[in-house]
Chains A and B, each alone.
Chain A
């Protein structure tokens, strides 16, 4: 796959400290990495590793205490225009008073696209996630997996340059999760979009990613940036039974174990 070398997303020295009336929590101490255009990067770490905080800082939903996030050369001070987020709680991120079609179309209306183009994008997005028949249904009439597909379709229709996904399949059953993982790879290949995928599932991160960033426990730093040198064509059955898959998995697993014990890489 032909990729431009230019960097799509840069995170520089990100630090996030939560302070309220009663206590101070340093969620993220120092995170720096960059993602090239069209890459699919996974972020994995133990619970409490501030993964969601990191994602929300990148998405411009939370302001970092120090450091910067740069998307396509522009620093992020609020939600950037070319970015779409898929949240874990699909049930709560879809508008229950709108049909599937209107849910997917709303951000496009915000972009002031003409009606014809909107319809085209909605149709294509829904068929890309295999939901062509349900555009008149309401989200609560659909199963969990289908609801998450709607959320993905909405993100896809938006034509983002960067797609952020915050543990999107954590609340979904295993079989549906496998289908959705494959769906992400297919969409990623087709749309050439840059994807940042946060998960707590190590297998998932190895299966999906070209790179996996392993996070430490809070206060979070990056333990390691693992390159996944598995073939580009991946299937659930074959790829997961490859020896290289097992090695990578074991390596990341042991890193996570170290992270849980509080070990962190020596600071520069």
Chain B
């Protein structure tokens, strides 16, 4: 009962219709705006170009993205490495589950003050906050993915005496990967939030820091442009993630499609 795929121009038109309309409405209604807090869109976009396409923009955005990458990738690695044995052992799971549920329920930004105690205001604090926030979705989803590995496939693997690292690489990791990616996706949004928050608090550079500066000094168009920039970063990272996922999990999408059809 699916519609026939409409032509490319039509798809493009539908995709862009609402966003373009909204932007146009924003532009028009704010054009003569005298409001201090809501300057004309035109001004914002001009400021955007001036600020973020300048060479020193890199010194603001760079450190942010660097801290984010370190924290996120470390969280992904640890989440998977810890999640696999926990997922595989029922006893480990039973023992650790309440503790993990508690730790993951602590809102990561709450840890910013805590971590400031331990590591001061430097890069470590921010990377650690990101790590602490991002690790839970990855870890818990890894556990779920390992638990849900197909029993028949597990027996097949045993019957062919495939064990150890080979079993991990060819069976456990690929088998749990769709679920792991769900966790990685959730962690992505959390990581961005934490990157910004940790910088808003206590930092000397970074997007969050810059944004708060603008707000404090009432540099409104700059502040808006910063908000837009954050939005764009969020979208770009999300797109990169999706491309990566599509590449790695191509088999999974194909499998589910055939299941749905069949």
Contacts and interface: CB of A to CB of B under 8 A. Distances in A.
User: How many interface residues does chain A have, given as a range?
Assistant: 20 to 34
A141 B171 CA distance: 20
Contact of B160 (A96, A97, A106, A140): A106
Contacts of A97: 174-175, 177, 251-252
A111 B153 CA distance: 19
Interface stretch (B24-32, B59-67, B199-207, B253-261): B253-261
A140 B155 contact: no
Contacts of A138: 251, 254-255
Nearest to B171: A95
Interface stretch (A35-43, A78-86, A224-232): A78-86
Contacts of B252: 96-97
A257 B175 CA distance: 43
B23 interface: no
Contact of A95 (B151, B153, B159, B161): B153
Contacts, number: 64
A89 interface: yes
B115 to A, nearest CB: 39
Interface string B222-256: 00000000000000000000000000000110110
Nearest to A83: B159
A61 B170 contact: no
Contact of A87 (B152, B170, B251, B254): B152
Given A140-B255, A140-B259, A141-B258, A93 B161 contact: no
Prevailing SS type, chain B contact patch: helix
A93 B259 CA distance: 16
A107 interface: yes
Nearest to B167: A110
A3 interface: no
B254 A92 contact: no
B150 interface: yes
A85 B153 CA distance: 12
Given A97-B174, A106-B160, A89 B152 contact: yes
A141 B259 CA distance: 10
Interface in A26-73: 56, 59-61
B158 interface: yes
B42 interface: no
B149 to A, nearest CB: 11
A158 interface: yes
Nearest to A158: B160
B170 A84 contact: no
Interface in B19-74: none
A78 B152 CA distance: 17
B161 A81 contact: yes
24 contacts: A61-B159, A78-B161, A79-B158, A79-B160, A85-B156, A85-B159, A87-B155, A87-B156, A89-B152, A92-B150, A93-B152, A96-B251, A97-B174, A97-B175, A97-B251, A106-B160, A107-B160, A110-B162, A110-B166, A138-B251, A138-B254, A138-B255, A140-B258, A141-B258
Interface of B: 150-153, 155-156, 158-162, 166, 170-171, 174-175, 177, 251-252, 254-255, 258-259
In the A-B complex, the 5 residue pairs with the closest CB atoms: A92-B152, A107-B160, A97-B174, A97-B251, A85-B159
Interface of A: 56, 59-61, 78-79, 81, 83-85, 87, 89, 92-93, 95-98, 106-107, 109-110, 138, 140-141, 158
Given A92-B150, A93-B153, 4 more contacts: A85-B155, A93-B152, A96-B251, A109-B166
